[in-house]
Homo-oligomer: A and B are copies of this chain.
């Protein structure tokens, strides 16, 4: 859960070796001039990059997106200079953490949908694994200066939205999920319940988070046991927010 060793999480800031064969042998010197600025990054640099993203994700969930960067570096077990070398400023780091997390959560939604035959079981599996993936790290996206409309993010967010909506729709159609809730309701409550209580790195969040998520999920089952105040929260309700 804490080790993001799985996929090639995001577009690396150091342009990857994608264009490797682009440089013809004939002119290695000329190749180094412009397009072929892709000297495959060192193994330890890649490892550190992933450690930083994982550490930042935890720290952002705990302290918000204003978490001290030196603290992030400390948790990642690296020097602060290394952090700044990989991500020149805070905005860049936040951007990549959000992207990283969005993609991982979306992947877990698709996996749940594909692998669980029961629609409600799929919803449960997604919910618990999104908590483990620290979906709360997406909250900085709602903050003021964040570039919500960056193409990379837009794509990732759309994919996530689609997966979650599908998951919920399946549950509703199977008559297993009450009809008066929206994907926004799930995402908000999920973020809230999986966050550590403020000022308390101390007692382990996870022990309680999964209990309370399960209780919440029990409340989502059909038939509904009560009437809800207000109206269902859609995912648009989350991204819009007019400051």
Please report A residues at the B interface, Cβ cutoff 8 Å: 64-65, 139-140, 142-144, 181, 184-185, 188-189, 191-193, 195, 197-200, 202-203, 207-208, 210-212, 214-221, 224-226, 228-230, 233, 237, 241-243
Contact = CB atoms under 8 A, between A and B. Distances in A.
A197 B139 contact: yes
B139 A199 contact: yes
Contacts of A181: 211, 215
Nearest to A224: B218
Contacts of A142: 197, 199-200, 202
A217 B226 contact: yes
Total copies of the chain: 2
Given A226-B217, A241-B203, A197 B208 contact: no
A212 B188 contact: yes
A20 to B, nearest CB: 39
Contacts of A210: 229-230
B237 A215 contact: no
A226 B203 CA distance: 25
A112 B188 CA distance: 28
B143 A200 contact: yes
Contacts of A228: 211, 214-215
Given A65-B199, A189-B212, 11 more contacts: A64-B198, A139-B198, A143-B200, A184-B208, A188-B197, A188-B212, A207-B230, A211-B228, A211-B229, A214-B226, A216-B216
